Amino acid sequence: MKYKATSFDIAYKAGVSQSTVSRALRNSPLVNEETRHKIHAIAKELNYKVDKNASNLRSQHTGTLALLLFEDPTMDDSLINPFFLSMLGSITRAAAKKGYDLLISFQQLSDDWHADYEDASKADGIILLGYGDYLDYEEKLEKLYEQGTHFVRYGSVAENQPGVSFGCDNYQGGYMATQHLIKLGRKDFIFLGGASDNSPEFRARYQGYCQALKEAGLRIRDNAQLDAISTEESGYQAAQQAFEQKIKFDAVICASDLIAIGGIRAIKAHGLTIPTDVSIVGFDDIPIAHFANPPLTTIQQNTRLAGEMLVDALINLIHNLEVKASLTPATLIVRESCGSEQT
Amino acid sequence: MKYKATSFDIAYKAGVSQSTVSRALRNSPLVNEETRHKIHAIAKELNYKVDKNASNLRSQHTGTLALLLFEDPTMDDSLINPFFLSMLGSITRAAAKKGYDLLISFQQLSDDWHADYEDASKADGIILLGYGDYLDYEEKLEKLYEQGTHFVRYGSVAENQPGVSFGCDNYQGGYMATQHLIKLGRKDFIFLGGASDNSPEFRARYQGYCQALKEAGLRIRDNAQLDAISTEESGYQAAQQAFEQKIKFDAVICASDLIAIGGIRAIKAHGLTIPTDVSIVGFDDIPIAHFANPPLTTIQQNTRLAGEMLVDALINLIHNLEVKASLTPATLIVRESCGSEQT
DNA sequence: CTGAAAGCGCTTACAG
DNA sequence: CTGAAAGCGCTTACAG
């Protein structure tokens, strides 16, 4: 490893004090224009980079944001939800744009909270992205909140949640998806996905779904909501159940794309054709949706916007500015899994 | 923010010196069993965490690995190759397992190398994952190498490359894919993907392909290798070109799954059926491959293993141990895009 | 086994 | 506008 230049080396070469070098490099207005230029030139020549550890230690902040991805331990390692990967990408970009480093950490929901705290001490703030059971998750949020840690999270947005939350307008998304199928003349709906306190995002989608049905004067059958978590297999099982219970349907609204992909498999397995016999719509717009067979109509979450909002909000929080929860719009992406108008 | 305990607080409570606390916390054998227990207990009670900046500054290492993802600036932001996302996941896990933090940074290939250096100063070593033109990329590697930076990269593995490289056995993968279609009775092959110095990974796959054809006594047509980069659109265009040039084919080997997905679209658009009329195989085994229509036969890269190898190798490099380039095995995943035996 | 002390490379009052 | 000096919270010889 090459010798690493320090601010003293620069000071010596420039014939000024180390304090002045430090100020010049941070572009303090306190330093003479000319000296500053000279110092910058020497720094460049020497390949000088400020030592982050030293500057962070001294100024008591890290310039780093931590991204915690909570995983449900029941999930298969290899099949991390593509939606979260997409969020990860947009958060990384957003953080970089603001000059923050991003520390990434995958955790099991079951890990004890000391691990979170550990991460908290390495970063100025935390971004939480979780899946799995919300009720387990909430405990962690409360711990973090008590600790006075700066954090934002992406997921369901509701009253009485610890900390600041951002999320997609799930209710509106569920509503739009359902309305779209209603317009297409569909009458018998089922909903694939959990709708309990354990998955508040899914529940909001379900509520939007119910609202659309209600407004159209269509019945909401009690047995037509089948639980599923966000995996292909679980979606398959849920649809399978609908068949076993002999629930008649020509329209299926899914709480996620992965669920929809599984649903499609089950529907095809029963010899039905999509969208002729049944229309189906997903949620998220993960890349796979586009390549499903048939291509899946879905509700798109704006991950790019979400990433920026999360990062901006967290930085504001760190600077003790006020930040409030907000929703990102949901967009209907029409593809071929719904068919076109019919009567 | 709550008051943050320091090693002095613990020392005071335990009635020992701060040096002893530091040693106890690092589990130095120099400290009395009993005192160590007491110190650990107090640390836990006080929610004490070692200040990373201070310890890193003092001991002159960071405990952090940087992951640089180079992107070809021509790529669409939103469509980061799912394969890299998968690598990212496995590297994150592998780093965490070894107790290293992972700093993530997306960069354009066009960024000047100072940016890399910047990252180098924040981490003990760098993992490089790049796509886009290899020739541009190589320059960066050389710069990094000259600087004496510890780094490993994933991609093509060959002689005369600066630094240590890991990668999938692309040659073998291309060979296996081709051989599979040969066994199925296919005769007229085309290859979709670049095969020049600009994309050495693709070239290795192409060479494996050529070898398999040669061994089977099948002809390798000069015009049957169509350039494509790893996007759906580019794959579509390449297949399109094959049709325009009236190249007859019943088997297509693709340099990546994304290319294959685009190829499938073009083939279907020409009214041909897969796999009846033509067999197609991809490379990577990204999640989409499974859901393609028909499900895509492909060559799987073991990203989990690759992530572990990269992290282990980099850590060894940091400790000045010897490390050498190696290949990860390629695995044929048979799905429906090839059909079954026929004559 | 333990303590006193130096020092990692910065930032930032303080004094001019 | 500039410099001398303190100090961020650790680790690690050095001396016992």
Residues A212 and A176 in one domain: yes
C-alpha–C-alpha distance, residues B8 and B21, integer Å: 8
Same domain, A250 and A128: no
Looking at the domain assignment, is residue A273 inside a domain?
Answer: yes
pLDDT for B341 beyond 80: no
The C1' atom of C5 and the CA atom of A2 lie apart, in whole Å, by 30
Measured between beta carbons, the chain B residues lying within 8 angstroms of A261 are 291
Look at residue B235 in the predicted model and tell me its pLDDT: 94
Picking from B86, B92, B287, the nearest residue to A104 by CB comes out as: B92
Is A179 a member of any domain? Answer: yes
Quote the CA–CA distance of A297 and A335 in Å, as a whole number.
Answer: 4
- Are the C-beta atoms of residues B181 and B253 closer than 8 Å to each other? yes
Domain assignment present for residue A113? The answer is: yes
Nearest nt to B31, CA vs C1'?
A: C1
Whether residue A76 is found in the same domain as residue A54: no
Please report whether residue B335 resides in a domain.
no
Degrees to nearest 5, angle at CA A170 with A165 and A176: 155
- Arithmetic mean of pLDDT over chain B: 86
Enumerate residues 6+ apart whose C-beta is below 8 A from B205: B170, B171, B173, B174, B177, B193, B253, B255, B283
Mark whether B99 and B161 lie in a shared domain. Answer: yes
Say if the Cβ atoms of A106 and B88 lie within 8 Å.
no
CA B329 to mean position of chain CA atoms = 14
Residue B341 lies in a domain: no
Contact between A258 and B257 under an 8 Å Cβ cutoff? The reply is no
The pLDDT of residue A81 is above 80: no
Q: Residue A130 above 80 pLDDT? A: no
The CA distance from B148 to the nearest CA of chain A, in Å, is: 5
Which residue would you say has higher pLDDT here, B170 or B47? B170
Q: Which helix (H) or strand (E) holds A316?
A: helix A303-318
Chain C positions with any atom < 7 A from a protein CB? 1-5, 7-13
pLDDT score at A163: 82
Residue among A52, A287, A293 whose CB faces B82 most closely: A287
Do B13 and B88 belong to one domain? Answer: no
User: Testing the interface with A: which of B4, B40, B52, B62 to mutate, by most A Cβ within 10 A?
Assistant: B52
The reply to whether B50 has its C-beta less than 7 Å from any atom of strand D is yes
Shared domain check, A175 and A239: yes
Interface test with A, best of B92, B104, B105, B280 (most A CBs within 10 A): B104
pLDDT band at B343 (very low <50, low <70, confident <90, very high): very low
Contacts with A88 from chain B: Cβ below 8 Å: 85, 88
Residues 53-82 of B with CB under 7 A from strand D: 54-55, 57-59
Predicted confidence band of residue A110 (pLDDT cuts 50, 70, 90): low
In a domain, B43, yes or no: yes
Looking at the structure of chain B, the number of domains it has is 3
Average pLDDT over residues A130-146: 76
What is the rounded distance in angstroms from the CA atom of residue A265 to the CA atom of residue A160? 39
B80, B96, B291: residue with CB nearest A288: B291
Between A47, A101, A292, which is nearest B103 by CB? Answer: A101
The 10s digit of each residue's pLDDT in B53-84 is: 888 888 888 778 888 887 665 545 445 677 88
Residue A268 sits in the same domain as residue A196: yes
pLDDT at B1 over 50: no
In angstroms, the CA B317 to CA B339 distance is: 46
Q: Which residues on chain A are in Cβ contact (under 8 Å) with B291?
A: 261, 288, 291-293
pLDDT at B214: 95
Does the pLDDT at position B111 exceed 70? no
- Rounded to the nearest angstrom, the minimum Cα separation between B221 and chain A is 31
**Whether residue B200 sits in one domain with residue B86:** no
Residue A334 lies in a domain: no
- Ordered alpha helix ranges (H), chain B: 7-14, 18-25, 33-46, 52-59, 82-97, 114-122, 134-146, 170-183, 200-215, 232-244, 257-269, 287-291, 303-318
Judge whether A333 lies within some domain.
no
Output the domain CATH number for residue B178: 3.40.50.2300
Based on the domain organization, do A253 and A190 belong to the same domain? yes
Domain that holds residue A162: 64-168+302-328
The crossing angle, in degrees rounded to 10, of helices A18-25 and A33-45 is 90
Instruction: Work out the percent of chain A whose per-residue pLDDT is above 90.
Output: 40
Q: Is the pLDDT of residue B16 over 80?
A: yes
Same domain? A205 vs A257? yes
A287–B288 CB contact, under 8 Å: yes
Whether residue A284 sits in one domain with residue A187: yes
Q: Which amino acid is located at A330 in the chain?
A: A
C-alpha A232 chain-centroid distance: 19
Q: Kindly determine whether residue B77 and residue A93, on different chains, have CB atoms separated by under 8 Å.
A: yes
Which one, of B133, B153, B80, lies nearest residue B306 by Cα? B153
CA of A6, C1' of C8: distance in angstroms:
11
Q: What is the CATH number of the domain that holds B53?
A: 1.10.260.40
A252 in the same domain as A296: yes
